[in-house]
A and B are shown apart, each in its own frame.
Chain A
């Protein structure tokens, strides 16, 4: 079948990209520091120690062997050791990656729930008051500095209204009274799995404000993208035909038309999603969120090379997965895609 073939092709392509990227990160990790062994043992080590480290790190072996070894390490979760803290990087990633992913996922839900309907209604009632409102709302969202919005939310909603929390992933009392078993590192999932509902509620209410702050750009973006594509789709003959068949507004706008207009929005949101995995630093800092963005920026500032390379590798993997997801979704939405 053409569709299965298409998916397999995309999978293979994604795999190829991943191998390419791993070669690049390998080269950066092993080649750019002029002598990784020297970096490993530190500046005041004896030459013998350095030589021993060369052999221990496999730097005396041929390049392809070094690469295979590197791949083996990465695949088994060994991303090396932080130059500064001497901690295995994987231990840090286990904390920061799920924290970031949870935040980014929840913010994506907000983006879709707010951005898509407003984009659709904006196009459906073009030049009406909904449209004017959404367009202004979209511009504000796209152009507002995210840290400023984060501070504003803290000030207005936490300080003034006393709702939600100023920062962190979980309240201290909850962490003590209802401790969270770390299984996946996603606190919503971990608490739900354990049936720890008071912790679940606490975690959720910690997620709301940072997710909204993080979602705002994507919301603005998806309103504009969806509106533009919907306006075009609504002029198509098959939409006139749908009206002529007596279909309701909801059916025409949110099913017949949106299905034809949604793919570009999803593409942009998927890119935005991947970007946020390492780019949400400003929101993370304001809300004291132990995220990957902050981790990366600290590593850059302290020139902790192995961390930078590891995060780059992870982000690239998500980028490839995001693209794969969009490709497959597009094929699922549009029967003509697999024919191209």
Chain B
């Protein structure tokens, strides 16, 4: 296995709100390998987007990273000044967002938007940049790139907009692409095309992808590895085959139960009983234990990391004894 490109350790993010301190991320541990696709799954509000934004150093107002480290090529990004992060964003780590109709600036043409990013990170003259922008639009398989260059976002369909966003993100040869639910707002057929494109880009461009999604089918289709998030913590991570087909953590299993693929026809989807903790209280033990059918007394303590196989880890007391 190749080297990790990103190593996140004990990442904790809090928000100061009028209701009190919200514990959004509670000690995330993650590795993203070079040229690998890591899926990040979990229910809404579990901290997927925040994890992505933390990597870019773009914590929203009111948020504060209180501990942890984000190693990128051996450098801890959390210790870097803003000026350094500005050079990393867009050039080494890029991001694609969920809804392409709101994440492209409506007042600039696609060409202008690509060239603005290129001009920021690369030295090149106008014609060179124009050439490269055209090339990129071809890479993301947009028809008639020369025309697309001069069109505004509102003139494109959702799928085309998302392709254009991907072109902008990849314009400076990023090593890591953070894709935050890149297909959630698209039609089903377009979804498949975009996922297919991302998969091929990973091979052709050698870019690693952090695929944020709540859809296990997307993970199964595009990812090599997956991390399951619950209440701002990773509860299980490892190769997709192992995690999806030999899920260990009760939450991962519940998630699989609730996912449409697994439920047999005619049976209603199995909702996970209980609700996600609000984040207003600091986590003490396992966050899932109040909803867990197999909770034990010991679950009030922070769960141990158990290596199921060398690459497959689960944070749960159920497997703790097999460790010793």
Which residues of A approach B to under 8 Å, CB–CB?
Answer: 236-238, 240-248, 251, 256, 259-260, 333-336
Choose one: B56, B58, B106, B155; the contact of A238 (CB below 8 Å): B106
Choose one: A236, A242, A247; the contact of B102 (CB below 8 Å): A236
The answer to whether A251 and B106 have CB atoms under 8 Å apart is no
In the complex, residue of chain B having the shortest beta-carbon distance to the beta carbon of A259: B107
**Within 8 Å CB of B154, what residues of A?**
335-336
Question: Given the complex of chains A and B, what is the CA–CA distance between A78 and B11 in angstroms?
Answer: 78
**Within 8 Å CB of A240, what residues of B?**
58, 97, 103
Q: What are 9 contact pairs spanning A and B, CB under 8 A?
A: A237-B99, A241-B95, A245-B89, A246-B87, A246-B91, A248-B86, A259-B105, A335-B106, A336-B106
**Within 8 Å CB of B85, what residues of A?**
246
In the complex, residue of chain B having the shortest beta-carbon distance to the beta carbon of A335: B152
For chain B, residues 122 to 159, give those with C-beta under 8 angstroms from any C-beta of chain A. 152, 154-155
Give the shortest distance, in Å, between A256 (CB) and chain B (any CB): 6
**Within 8 Å CB of A238, what residues of B?**
102-106
The answer to whether B106 and A256 have CB atoms under 8 Å apart is no
The answer to whether A246 and B103 have CB atoms under 8 Å apart is no
**Within 8 Å CB of A251, what residues of B?**
116, 120
The answer to whether B89 and A244 have CB atoms under 8 Å apart is yes
**Within 8 Å CB of B165, what residues of A?**
241
In the complex, residue of chain A having the shortest beta-carbon distance to the beta carbon of B171: A245
In the complex, residue of chain A having the shortest beta-carbon distance to the beta carbon of B89: A246
Give the shortest distance, in Å, between B139 (CB) and chain A (any CB): 17
Pick from A238, A245, A260, A334 the residue with the most CB of B within 10 Å: A245
Whether a CB of chain A sits under 8 angstroms from the CB of B218 is no
Question: Given the complex of chains A and B, what is the CA–CA distance between A127 and B85 in angstroms?
Answer: 24
**Within 8 Å CB of B99, what residues of A?**
237
Q: Given A237-B102, A335-B154, A336-B152, are A244 and B116 also a contact pair (CB < 8 Å)?
A: no
Give the shortest distance, in Å, between B132 (CB) and chain A (any CB): 15
**Within 8 Å CB of A259, what residues of B?**
105, 107-108
Which residues of B approach A to under 8 Å, CB–CB?
Answer: 56, 58, 85-91, 94-95, 97, 99, 102-108, 116-117, 120-121, 152, 154-155, 165, 168-169
Question: Given the complex of chains A and B, what is the CA–CA distance between A240 and B94 in angstroms?
Answer: 12
Give the shortest distance, in Å, between A249 (CB) and chain B (any CB): 9
Q: Given A335-B154, A336-B152, A336-B154, are A245 and B106 also a contact pair (CB < 8 Å)?
A: no
Question: Given the complex of chains A and B, what is the CA–CA distance between A243 and B61 in angstroms?
Answer: 13
In the complex, residue of chain B having the shortest beta-carbon distance to the beta carbon of A339: B154
The answer to whether A242 and B105 have CB atoms under 8 Å apart is yes
Question: Given the complex of chains A and B, what is the CA–CA distance between A263 and B77 in angstroms?
Answer: 38
Name 9 extra pairs, CB < 8 A, besides A243-B89, A246-B85: A237-B103, A241-B105, A246-B89, A247-B120, A251-B116, A259-B105, A260-B107, A336-B106, A336-B154
Question: Given the complex of chains A and B, what is the CA–CA distance between A243 and B86 in angstroms?
Answer: 8
Q: Given A236-B102, A238-B102, A251-B120, are A244 and B94 also a contact pair (CB < 8 Å)?
A: yes
**Within 8 Å CB of B116, what residues of A?**
245, 247, 251
In the complex, residue of chain B having the shortest beta-carbon distance to the beta carbon of A247: B120
Question: Given the complex of chains A and B, what is the CA–CA distance between A245 and B87 in angstroms?
Answer: 9
Give the shortest distance, in Å, between A2 (CB) and chain B (any CB): 11
Give the shortest distance, in Å, between B288 (CB) and chain A (any CB): 30
Q: Given A248-B86, A335-B152, are A241 and B120 also a contact pair (CB < 8 Å)?
A: no
User: Which 8 A-B residue pairs are closest in the complex by CB-CB distance?
Assistant: A246-B90, A246-B89, A245-B90, A237-B102, A244-B95, A237-B103, A335-B152, A238-B105
**Within 8 Å CB of B107, what residues of A?**
259-260, 333-335
Question: Given the complex of chains A and B, what is the CA–CA distance between A247 and B108 in angstroms?
Answer: 15
Give the shortest distance, in Å, between A143 (CB) and chain B (any CB): 30
The answer to whether B121 and A246 have CB atoms under 8 Å apart is yes
Give the shortest distance, in Å, between B54 (CB) and chain A (any CB): 12
Give the shortest distance, in Å, between A243 (CB) and chain B (any CB): 6
The answer to whether B97 and A237 have CB atoms under 8 Å apart is yes
**Within 8 Å CB of B102, what residues of A?**
236-238
Give the shortest distance, in Å, between A244 (CB) and chain B (any CB): 4
**Within 8 Å CB of B117, what residues of A?**
245-247
Choose one: A243, A256, A336; the contact of B105 (CB below 8 Å): A256
In the complex, residue of chain B having the shortest beta-carbon distance to the beta carbon of A248: B86
**Within 8 Å CB of B121, what residues of A?**
246
**Within 8 Å CB of B152, what residues of A?**
335-336
Give the shortest distance, in Å, between B124 (CB) and chain A (any CB): 16
Question: Given the complex of chains A and B, what is the CA–CA distance between A244 and B170 in angstroms?
Answer: 12
**Within 8 Å CB of A242, what residues of B?**
105
Question: Given the complex of chains A and B, what is the CA–CA distance between A168 and B102 in angstroms?
Answer: 53
**Within 8 Å CB of B168, what residues of A?**
245
Question: Given the complex of chains A and B, what is the CA–CA distance between A336 and B108 in angstroms?
Answer: 11
Give the shortest distance, in Å, between B276 (CB) and chain A (any CB): 24
Give the shortest distance, in Å, between B79 (CB) and chain A (any CB): 18
Question: Given the complex of chains A and B, what is the CA–CA distance between A126 and B116 in angstroms?
Answer: 26
Give the shortest distance, in Å, between A181 (CB) and chain B (any CB): 44
**Within 8 Å CB of B89, what residues of A?**
243-246
The answer to whether B104 and A241 have CB atoms under 8 Å apart is yes
**Within 8 Å CB of B120, what residues of A?**
245-248, 251
The answer to whether A247 and B106 have CB atoms under 8 Å apart is no
Pick from A240, A251, A260, A334 the residue with the most CB of B within 10 Å: A240
Give the shortest distance, in Å, between B233 (CB) and chain A (any CB): 25
In the complex, residue of chain B having the shortest beta-carbon distance to the beta carbon of A242: B105
The answer to whether B88 and A246 have CB atoms under 8 Å apart is yes
In the complex, residue of chain B having the shortest beta-carbon distance to the beta carbon of A333: B107
